[in-house]
Structure formats: structure tokens, C-alpha cells
Structure 1
Amino acid sequence: MTTDLKETIRTVNSAAVMGLLPARPRILALGEPAHGESTLHAVRNELFRQLVEEEGYRTFALESDCLTGLLVDDYVTDLDGTAGDDELDDVMARGFSHEWGAFPGNRELVRWMRTFNAGRPASDRIRFAGVDGPLEITGAASPRQALTALHGFLAERLGTGLLPCSDDALDSFIGPDDRWTEPAAMMDPSRSVGQSAEARELRLIADDLAALLGAHTPGLIAASTAAEWERARLYGRTATGLLRYHFWMADTSPGRMTWLLGVRDAMIAANLLALAERGPVLVSAHNSHLQRTPSTMRMWDYPRLEWWGAGALVDAELGAGYAFLATAVGTIRHRGVDAPPSDSVEGLLYALPGDHHLVDAGRLAASLGERLPDARVSPWFGYAPLDPAQLAALDGIVFVKDAQER
């Protein structure tokens, strides 16, 4: 090694993060190697607080349903009256997907965001956004919410003459929601309605509605508040992306899962780019969604799936406007992840004093030289170790020595 490893580490704070980067990024991505770990959430929350107070960040984005996330955004920004624990309980239960609302760190973050916003003008309040599609690994939502909201927005401002169908016809094409949410469809494409005649018609309708949104942009902006316009665009992106996802759920070709993974990350990327238009964003998601290199996964009967994740797509669009900090951990003992091998990247960092560090990934890669350490092997499926080959594609690493059970 040509550099002392201690020379590559800094304290985890907003000033140190900005010191690693050539300029303040429009999107700062903070990945995590495992979901639901309270220690990682605590480090994330403190960094976001500093970014808000010291660097002017005003949006926190999470790998959670973009539509249900609107409930959380309303809660932290609409400050009329007081909000007790019962209201917060409801927001945490209905405003998140993927069980995110059950994690104490997310509850603490939402509570802090609302408290921070108290007494501030609307233009200076921090915002919450889900950036994932209305998707779970076991299936996807009905397109009803996004389609009917977009249809209603356009009908109110443009009248019904230009719309491709009436609201009654739209409802008829959608049909019962449980047709779309059939859990067996993920494993059995024949159980999906995504390539039915009604679904194909809905894809054309969604495309036409999105086209109307674009073609009438000046008038629609003039006839809407900024929040209404922002949400209409979100409904358009979600309706078209969700119907595309359902289409590929019904497909039987070998490319089915690659399509599904790619559509999901394309939806995340589009949502992030839209958020960046209003100011700098901190996004929290799994490392695999945020990395610049192709994402890979083993799943069911697929030995290796590869696709471009949201981070790679956003990086291609923004260049230096995108920065990625991967989080790595030493131990998650309550999950059976004990001390890392001493010759792994995590093992080298684990040997340093301190509970957590910000690591200059470029200097770390240079210190390791041409022969990179072997990748760590995870004993728990929910934890993805750092890939040493990706060090050069990282802007930094947030290393947490021990992720502890709360």
C-alpha cells in the first residue's frame, strides 16, 4: 500500500462530504448495503440534518412508493394545526412502501422534518419524496391512482374534448384493482393482466395523456400551482412506467426480469431528475440502485441479471451534478454478519479506530494498488458487501463499524 489508510478517512459530516466533491451536486446519493438497520439510519439522518442546515439541501428522497410518499410530504409541509402521535402513526403506516414506515429511524426523520419546517415560509421548507414506483418485489399496484389523477387534472384544465377517453371508459378499462395486484403474477406471467386488450388500450391512453401534458405545458402551468403541476408530471411518469412494468410482468421471454428491473430503476431515475429541478436532493436507497456501474442480481431461476440502475442513468444525465457515497459496514451481528476478513476492504477499514468514517474512495483505491482485495462473502442474504472493483466509481464511502440492533 502506498498510502496510510488513516489518511483516507474523515469525519462523517456535510463539510467533509462537500470537500470530497468538485462542487455541490444536484443529487447526492447515499447508498446502503442492507435495509432497515437503525445505526445506518441514524448516520443518514444526522448527515441530512447537516446538509439542510449547512448546505441548503431541501429534499429528502427515499426508495419508497412515489405516490404514497405524497402523504408524507403533506405531513411535513402542511403545518396548519398540530399533529399528534396518532396522525404520525397514520402517515408512517400509509405513506411508505417496502415496510419503510416501521423503522424507527424513518419515524424520527419525518418528525424532525416537520419540526424543522415549523415557522418557516413554504419556500424554505424541506420536502419528502418517495422515488420508487408503486412496486413490491412480489408485484405492482393498479394504475388507477396515477391514471385517474392525471385524467382529472387534464379534464379540469383542458376540458374533455381533447382527452382520449371519458372517465367512465377509463374506469372500465382498469376494471377491478385486484386483477393488477395478483401476487402470483410475479412468478407466473400467465396470471398477469399486463398484456390484456384492456391493458394495451390503457398504455395508449396513458401515452396520450402524457403527450397532452407536454403539449399544453405553458397553459397548464399558468392554470396550476407549482405543487399541482409537479404532481401532474409525477402522475404521468408513474402511469406510463407502471403500465410498462405490468406489460413485462405478463411476458414469457428470457428478458422478462431484466426488463422489470430496468423499468423500476428508470422510474426511480426519472423521479430523481424531476426532484433535482427544484434544488439539491439527498436520496437514500440500496447501493445497487445508486451505483454508476451496471447492477447485478441473482434471483430465483436467473443465475445472473444485469441492468443499468437509477444512479447510472442519473449520472449519464447530470455528470458532475450526481455524486454517490456507498455505505459499507463491518458487522451486523444480530443478522449473523460478524467481523470481516482482515484482507477485505471492510476488514481494512474495520481495523481503524472509531465508530464510523467518511472514506476518500479514490485515495483508498490508489493505496490498494493494482491488486484489489477479494470481495467479502455475505452470510446473510439481506446484506450486500462492497465490491472492491467499484472503488474507482465511488465518490466516497460511509463506513459504519458496527450496525447494532436497536
Structure 2
Amino acid sequence: MATDIKDTAHAVEAAALMRLLPARPQLLALGEPAHGEDALLDLRNELFRQLVEQEGYRTIAIESDCMMGLLVDEYVTSGSGTLDEVMEQGISHGWGTFAANRELVRWMRAYNVRAVNDGRPASERLRFAGFDGPLEITHAASPRQALTALHGCLAARVDADLLPCSAQTLDRLLGSDELWTNRAAMTDPSQSVGQTPEAGQLRLLADDLVALLDAQTPHLLAAASRDDWNRARLYGRTATGLLRYHHWMADTSPARMTRLCALRDLMMAHNLLAVAERGPALVHAHNGHLQRGKSAMRMWQGPVEWWSAGALVSAQLGEEYAFVATALGTMRHHGVDAPSPDTVEGLLYALAEDHRLIDAPRLATALAEAPPAPRVSPWFGYAPLDPAHLADSEGIVFVKDVPQS
């Protein structure tokens, strides 16, 4: 069995990864089992460089606020702002402070400057996207930014009589942003404003604004660029998604957290499908958001399960979506020591070099007669592989030892 497993391993390189796939996918999803580790982010950066230079990929999408990500995209494509500003204001969850994320953005900007100097067309520019909603498991943003931006895009380009309301009406119905961002609402539905009469009116108006955007597509594409139109579509998805999320934050049923987790991944999926429209992209996020199976988490009200963004996108794109999970051996600064030899990670730890790319379906076949045990993590921030779903990914990137960032 050891020989069979070793035969599935390759160097972690774009060329080796592409050989595992039937064709170049529009979305190549690289998962990570833990957030905030520069070693994993450095590996992502190197793989993205190779995909750009060897395979024609031009976009990277990461698990970060989709609205904030527009600032990073503006910087890497046009140089708007400074690197310090976009790292602080353009990447959510505090991840703009990580050296590897800063290096990614710096390299993308430098690549685009060279492309312009070489006279290459705009289609050769690298693009950046955040594909998470403006929310986290602890809170959600006010819908004000997305909703008013969508209204502004339409007000500037269509007959005023077609608008379902004025900007002043939106402002009055939105009220104070602090009411929307109240973190107590995450665990206490009575603190949420998501089911107030004003919130109900906003949901209807957001729906009408998105419908107007769709109905005016030929005119809008003639009056502005496709990038402007795509940005307006992002505003619409985000506004309706946030209003829907806030509505269910006020729910008191047992399905509340299951529904909220599902809605977050649904917003991610819609953003990823939009990213796929503009060409091949590398997607980077937690394994749990990108896997093809259901995601699961134990929360304060008990265990919840929902379909991940990867499962939703894979169902629509088929072979145009590929998923590669990352697994690790040790992360000793978090108490994750050498894995038990009867786990998938333990088998790979005994055989693999520092970084190896594993053919996941072949590995699953090799282990079919003696299924490995699930690994149990001593640290809540690390999610081991589920040995029952090895074949649901095209590959596994195994990192033997993750040093402290």
C-alpha cells in the first residue's frame, strides 16, 4: 500500500496539477485547512504565479469581503491608492496584515505594470476578487453601501421615472448602520432589525433595483463599460444577499444557524460564478467552503450542516470547477503534532516530502480496502481531511510541517 500511495504523489506545481484534471477549469479551487498561516499563503502565491505564467490564469479570488476587494482590484489594475491603503481597507478579517497577502497584491500590480509597458492588451491584466459577503459568523454589515451604490449606478444612467424610489427614501429606511451591525444580533434574534417593516420594504426595493438593472442591460452596456455593469451586478447581489441574511438573523426557529451558514455560502457561490464569467481563476478559501460535499460545524445551538459554495458551484459548472484540498502534518505552534499513522495525514506524513501534490481519487482507491481513521484536531482552528470524501476532490496538497508565521 505504501508504494501505491507514494505513486500518487507529485511536486506541487501547476503543470503537475493540470495533469490531474481532464481540462483547464474556469475555477480552480485551492482549499486550506486553517486560516492565517503564511506558509500556506506562500504556497498559494507560487501556484498562482505558475498558473498565470504557464496556464493563462488571470484572476485570483480569495475568502474576503467582495465589496472591499474592489479596492484591491482597482489598485492592481490601475494603481489607484497605495499598497498600504489597499491592504488595510481592501482585505477583510484582518488578513491584509499577512506578509504573504501583501506580497500577492504587490506582485500582481508589478505584473500589470510590466504588461502595460510591454503593450499587452487589457485582457492580459491580472484581476483580484473577494468572494465572501460583507459578513462573518459574528456579524453582518449594513446593506447601505451596496444598496446605495446600486441605486447610484442606475440613477446616473436610466430615466428617473423607472427608479422604484429615491436615494432619500433608501436613507430613511436604512436608518442607523449601528442597528444593522449590532453583534448581539448574532446570538440574540430579538436584537436584529432584519424583519422590521423598514427592512421588508428595503428587500422589495432591492429586488426592484436588481430587476431594473437586468431589464436595462443593453442600454447600460452601451452607456458604460462591462466592468461598470459587472460592478453594479455585484452591488445588487450583495444588497439582496445582506438583506436576506439580516432577515433570517431575526428568525427564532431551530433552523436559524443552518440557514445563515447556507446563505453565506450561497453569496459566495454567486460571486464565484460571476468571477468564472471573465476567465480562468484560482480560488482560495477554507476547504469547508470549497469542498463538493456538505459543510458542517458545531455551534452554540448544536451541529449544523449546509451545502458549501464549492458544492453549489460544482453543481452548475461540472468539470469547469476543480477542487484541490490542502492537508497538513504538523502545526506545532497550535498544538497540532505529528498525526496518528492510521489517519490519511499520518500515512502522508510518513511518506511525503515537505510539499507534495497527491492524486486524490487514486489515493482513495489505494485506501479502499483499509479505510483510514478520521484525524481529531486538538485545535479548533484546524480542520483535518474527512477520509470518507477523498475522491470528491481532484487532488490534495500535503504540507508536512507548517512553521509559525
- Smaller-chain TM-score bracket: over 0.9
Deviation at 1:371, TM superposition (A): 3.1
2:88 pairs, out of 64, 88, 93, with 93
Alignment partner, residue 111 of structure 2: 116
**3-state SS of 1:157 partner:** coil
1:2-401 aligned at under 5 Å gives the runs 4-79=4-79, 87-120=82-115, 121-302=121-302, 304-401=303-400
**3-state SS of 2:24 partner:** coil
Gaps of 5+ in 1: none
Rounded to whole Å, the distance in 2 between the matches of 1:135 and 1:353 is 38
Rounded to whole Å, the distance in 2 between the matches of 1:373 and 1:145 is 48
Deviation at 1:156, TM superposition (A): 1.0
- Whether the 8 Å contact between 1:3 and 1:367 is mirrored in structure 2 is no
Q: 1:332-354 CA deviation, whole Å, 9 max, x = no partner? A: 01111000001110011011242
Rounded to whole Å, the distance in 2 between the matches of 1:40 and 1:148 is 37
Rounded to whole Å, the distance in 2 between the matches of 1:289 and 1:169 is 36
- Whether the 8 Å contact between 2:352 and 2:400 is mirrored in structure 1 is no
Rounded to whole Å, the distance in 2 between the matches of 1:69 and 1:207 is 24
Deviation at 1:136, TM superposition (A): 1.7
Q: Which amino acid aligns with 1:109?
A: L
Deviation at 1:370, TM superposition (A): 3.4
Q: 1:278-311 CA deviation, whole Å, 9 max, x = no partner? A: 1001010000000001111101121x20100100
Rounded to whole Å, the distance in 1 between the matches of 2:390 and 2:369 is 12
- Whether the 8 Å contact between 1:2 and 1:367 is mirrored in structure 2 is no
- Whether the 8 Å contact between 2:146 and 2:235 is mirrored in structure 1 is yes
Rounded to whole Å, the distance in 1 between the matches of 2:143 and 2:161 is 23
Q: Kindly, what percent of the aligned residue pairs are identical?
A: 67
**3-state SS of 1:172 partner:** helix
Rounded to whole Å, the distance in 1 between the matches of 2:263 and 2:352 is 42
Q: 1:68-116 CA deviation, whole Å, 9 max, x = no partner? A: 0001111111137xx7xxx212211111111211211111111111111
Rounded to whole Å, the distance in 2 between the matches of 1:51 and 1:7 is 24
Q: Which amino acid aligns with 1:129?
A: A
Deviates more, 1:1-10 or 1:194-203: 1-10
Rounded to whole Å, the distance in 1 between the matches of 2:114 and 2:224 is 25
- Whether the 8 Å contact between 1:287 and 1:326 is mirrored in structure 2 is yes
Deviates more, 1:113-122 or 1:293-302: 113-122
Rounded to whole Å, the distance in 2 between the matches of 1:217 and 1:347 is 54
**3-state SS of 2:356 partner:** strand
Rounded to whole Å, the distance in 2 between the matches of 1:115 and 1:352 is 38
Deviation at 1:2, TM superposition (A): 8.4
Q: Which amino acid aligns with 2:97?
A: A
Deviation at 1:122, TM superposition (A): 2.5
Deviation at 1:38, TM superposition (A): 1.0
Gaps of 5+ in 2: 116-120
Q: 1:378-403 CA deviation, whole Å, 9 max, x = no partner? A: 00000000000010111000000001
Deviation at 1:119, TM superposition (A): 3.1
Deviates more, 1:256-265 or 1:347-356: 347-356
- Whether the 8 Å contact between 1:2 and 1:368 is mirrored in structure 2 is no
Deviates more, 1:118-127 or 1:47-56: 118-127
Rounded to whole Å, the distance in 1 between the matches of 2:136 and 2:362 is 38
Rounded to whole Å, the distance in 1 between the matches of 2:294 and 2:6 is 30
**3-state SS of 2:298 partner:** strand
Give TM-score, length-normalised by structure 2: 0.97
Alignment partner, residue 118 of structure 2: none
Q: Which amino acid aligns with 1:384?
A: A
- Whether the 8 Å contact between 1:77 and 1:122 is mirrored in structure 2 is no
Rounded to whole Å, the distance in 2 between the matches of 1:33 and 1:224 is 41
RMSD: 1.1
Deviation at 1:4, TM superposition (A): 2.2
**3-state SS of 1:273 partner:** helix
Deviation at 1:3, TM superposition (A): 5.2
Rounded to whole Å, the distance in 1 between the matches of 2:380 and 2:105 is 29
**How many residues align structurally?**
400
